[in-house]
């Protein structure tokens, strides 16, 4: 039986795009979605259909999931990958920024879960894959909103893992480290400090943090996708997996006193950068 997969946030060059290719390579029927379909290029494999989807809209998410079930008769895997970067000092963020970031990164996970899980529960089969981040577990300076929104996603994954057990629906939380994608470039292009910021002297450090996930140790998106899809399609998907550049060091940090780890993170991202 061909599995039907929905992936959110599938713009070319990103993690979602790579996941679509890998699910299709494994023989799945894939629905690739993005707010702007024109930002999705040509996929390498067949069996991938493109749909517009604004994950911040209840109606759009419900309509998309219902459409897939109506056409295919089922929905087997949902990958909540859509996300946005909101860099800068936490107190410099407007409440509109806060709401927008959580709407895209966190509330969207609940929207798709509410829409898809009833169909999965009826068939007593399905997998929800939530893409979080290592910074949802170990926070870093200058990226507070993203850290907070991804921390919430991890809690959502844990609760869904328990509450979906009666219906045989599996939940896999993925915490990427550094993975090659467009998210830093897009976030960096839009970034600026407010004129009255207390943190003007730290601008080089903020920019350093924005592009940290795209350093030389970043895992290629296709390699990341192969490993995630392999676990998602396995007979017993794990609750949690973390991979990508820095993922091992972040895993080690979880065993250390938090005050020490936060001190280290501050030292790394508050040093003066030589020009």
Residues forming the active site = 146, 150
- At residue 33, what are phi and psi to the nearest 5 degrees? -125, 155
Q: Give Cα 151 distance to the centre of its chain.
A: 11
Residue whose entry in the numeric block shows the structure tokens 């039986």: 1
Count of C-beta atoms within a 10 Å radius of residue 240: 16
Decide the pairing of beta strands 169-176 and 240-243.
Answer: parallel
Q: What is the DSSP code (8-state) at residue 246?
A: T
Taking the C-alpha atoms of 215, 217, 220 and 223 in order, what is their torsion angle to the nearest 10 degrees? -160
Q: Is residue 168 classed as helix, strand or coil in its secondary structure?
A: coil
Q: Are 173 and 157 in contact (CB under 8 A)?
A: yes
Distance CA(31)–CA(136), nearest Å, equals: 27
What's the angle, vertex CA 231, arms to CA 229 and CA 235, rounded to 5?
120
Count of C-beta atoms within a 10 Å radius of residue 9: 27
Q: Are 28 and 72 in contact (CB under 8 A)?
A: no
Give all strands of the β-sheet with 48-52 in edge-to-edge order.
48-52, 29-34, 4-7, 77-80, 126-131, 169-176, 240-243
């Amino acid at each position: 039986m061909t599995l039907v997969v929905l992936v959110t946030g599938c713009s070319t060059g990103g993690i979602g795009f790579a996941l679509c290719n890998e699910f299709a390579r494994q023989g799945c029927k894939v629905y690739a979605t993005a707010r702007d379909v024109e930002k999705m290029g040509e996929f390498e494999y067949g069996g991938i259909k493109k749909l517009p989807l604004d994950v911040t809209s209840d109606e759009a998410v419900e309509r998309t999931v219902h459409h897939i079930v109506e056409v295919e008769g089922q929905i087997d895997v949902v990958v909540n990958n859509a996300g946005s970067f909101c860099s800068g000092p936490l107190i410099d963020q407007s409440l509109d920024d806060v709401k927008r970031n959580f709407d895209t990164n966190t509330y969207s996970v609940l929207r798709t879960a509410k829409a898809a899980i009833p169909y999965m529960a009826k068939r007593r089969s399905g997998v929800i894959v939530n893409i979080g981040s290592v910074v949802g577990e170990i926070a870093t300076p200058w990226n507070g909103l993203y850290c907070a929104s991804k921390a919430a996603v991890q809690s959502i994954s844990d609760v869904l893992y328990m509450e979906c057990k009666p219906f045989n629906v599996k939940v896999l939380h993925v915490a990427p480290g550094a993975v090659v994608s467009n998210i830093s470039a897009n976030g960096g292009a839009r970034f600026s400090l407010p004129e009255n910021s207390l943190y003007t002297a730290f601008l080089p450090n903020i920019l350093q943090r924005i592009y940290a996930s795209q350093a030389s140790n970043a895992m290629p998106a296709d390699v990341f996708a192969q490993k995630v899809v392999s676990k998602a399609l396995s007979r017993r998907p794990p609750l949690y997996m973390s991979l990508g550049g820095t993922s091992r060091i972040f895993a080690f940090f979880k065993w250390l006193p938090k005050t020490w780890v936060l001190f280290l993170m501050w030292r790394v991202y508050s040093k003066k950068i030589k020009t």
